[in-house]
Amino acid sequence: MLLLLLCEVQQQNPEALQTPLAKWHGVLTKHFRGTLLTLSGIGTYKGAILMPYIEMVTRCRRFLSVMGGGGKAGREVAAAPATVVALPSVQVSGGGGLECVICKEEIDEGRDVCKLPCEHLFHWMCILPWLRKRNTCPCCRYRLPTDDVFGEIQRLWEVLVEVSRRS
């Protein structure tokens, strides 16, 4: 529910994601007053009906930032097994010099390797142990989905913030 709300706010007002956490109550109140209340026919009602919801969303965001970030910001979380199984295997062709950054060995032409969504290539025997411990690309730190709820919410939050910066 929180992610849906954040997606809607990001679409309507991308700079709102840059607002300090302490001011989110006002941002969300303004968003609902300007969109949902008007669309629902309530008009310029002060939003008393939605205030508990907005306060709950603000508390959820604060809770998630403490649980998913804060003192645990540097913790490593494994990539989701379903994500790892779905990674494509590609055959290296037409160009030597590719190196697996995990083992530092050259990737031989004609060999099947793992291709991450960020387009980086790795030996399967190297990347599988890596992804059992962490959900990031060893080259660019692209974050793969995880089964850890707080880690996944934090990853999706970062994706939203990144998308808002590009817009």
pTM exceeds cut of 0.75? no
DSSP-derived secondary structure letter, 107:
P
Q: Which CATH number fits domain 81-133: 3.40.50.300, 3.10.580.10, 3.40.50.2300, 3.30.40.10?
A: 3.30.40.10
Q: 161: which 2 tokens? A: 């913030």
Q: Where are the domains of the chain?
A: 2-75+148-166, 81-133
Nearest-angstrom CA–CA distance, 135 and 80: 8
pLDDT score for 62: 65
Burial (Cβ within 10 Å: 0-12, 13-18, ≥19) of residue 9: buried
| Contact (CB, 8 A) for 114 and 47 | no
> pLDDT averaged over consecutive 10-residue blocks of the chain (167 residues)?
62 69 67 55 50 61 58 68 92 80 90 93 94 93 84 74 70
